[in-house]
Amino acid sequence: MSGADASETTASGTARRSRLELVSDVLLETTRFFHDERFVQLLPVMLGRSTDPLGPDPGSSILRTTELDYLGQRFYLMNSMILHKQIAVREVGPIWILSPNVRLERAERGRTGRHLFEFTQADFELPGATAADVRSLMERYYARLGTALAGHPAFGRLGVEPPSFRPPWRVVTTHDLETRFGPDWEGPASTAADQPFWAVCHRREFYDREDPADPGHFLNYDLIYPGGYGEALSGAEREWDAERIRTRIRRDGVPPQAFRAYLELAHDLVPSAGAGFGIERLVRFLTKSPHVGDVQFFRRVPGETVAL
């Protein structure tokens, strides 16, 4: 190895280590935040008798939900723990989970810089909360994270500025975003922004609540990072009425047998709201890394050959 190659390897090794240190500190600060806000942390499950259908959502491109049979039961690999959150929140109260998700995205998604086929989200749910409650909870989270990480030495080593989160953030409907930026608004709207913003009112999965006062409008929200980094978080007020959930599962054309186990438990859900934000996307944004896979030690980028 020539001298130049060796120093480049050392430089990229230092960058890799710096990103991993930030992942570690983000996990610590996230745990402190939810703990101080009196959420109970549940351990994740990775196999479930029902899981998030991830659609219909124009932003979703997964090839399939992985199924396996074990001792006579059919399981799905977790796309997200949303359905499990709805069941747990009515008994436990405010909950959060560091949830590993597997989403078998198409190979071309590897080039967006934002997609992984295996990642971890911080996923939380609050009984009795509104969309506005969740937005302000998350604004407190990001503000506190920014303060906690401000002096982190990894930023200097990576040559990037520490984050400057200045909530409260703009709330924009996806209808307005489509008018301004077209149907693929996420990239250009994110590039045009200088602070994160909330995109609200998508038509999405059956578990997002439709506004009873304004049918056709949905009480959900995505947080979008500025600078072209795109979606940070997605969440919603939930549909809790079992009959409306059944109707919407039929409407969406998702296979009803995949939700049988969930529906058996979903007869007395409580109103709740929550969201999930990707840990790798958050650290990619903080470190201004070219690809979200750059913050993983074991890269899981669609279309790339996996080392181990």
For residue 69, give every residue at least 6 positions away whose Cβ sits within 8 Å of its Cβ, in sequence order, or none: 75
| 52 or 210: CB nearest ligand ASN | 52
Q: How far is the CB of 2 from ligand ASN (least distance, A)?
A: 46
| 89 or 177: CB nearest ligand ASN | 89
Q: Which two tokens stand for residue 10?
A: 């050392």
3-class secondary structure for 217-262?
CECEEEEEECCCCEEEEEEEEECCCHHHHHHHHHHHCCCHHHHHHH
For residue 32, give every residue at least 6 positions away whose Cβ sits within 8 Å of its Cβ, in sequence order, or none: none
* Sheet of 47-48, strands arranged across: 47-48, 73-77, 67-70
Q: How far is the CB of 266 from ligand ASN (least distance, A)?
A: 16
As a whole number of angstroms, the distance between CA 12 and CA 31 comes to 29
| 119 or 155: CB nearest ligand ASN | 119
The residue among 197, 192, 207 whose CA lies nearest residue 273 is 207
Q: Which residue is nearest to ligand ASN (CB)?
A: 276
Q: How far is the CB of 30 from ligand ASN (least distance, A)?
A: 14
Q: How far is the CB of 65 from ligand ASN (least distance, A)?
A: 12
CB-facing half-sphere around the CA of 254: CA atoms within 13 A? 23
Residue numbers at the binding site for ligand ASN (CB under 6 A)? 52, 80, 82, 121, 123, 234-236, 274-276
As a whole number of angstroms, the distance between CA 200 and CA 122 comes to 20
| 236 or 245: CB nearest ligand ASN | 236
As a whole number of angstroms, the distance between CA 146 and CA 20 comes to 17
| 80 or 287: CB nearest ligand ASN | 80
As a whole number of angstroms, the distance between CA 211 and CA 129 comes to 15
As a whole number of angstroms, the distance between CA 27 and CA 279 comes to 8
Q: How far is the CB of 231 from ligand ASN (least distance, A)?
A: 10
| 64 or 70: CB nearest ligand ASN | 64
| 16 or 49: CB nearest ligand ASN | 49
Q: Which segments of the chain does DSSP mark as H helices, in order?
A: 3-36, 82-92, 131-149, 153-158, 174-181, 186-192, 242-252, 260-265, 279-287
Q: How far is the CB of 236 from ligand ASN (least distance, A)?
A: 5
Q: How far is the CB of 223 from ligand ASN (least distance, A)?
A: 12
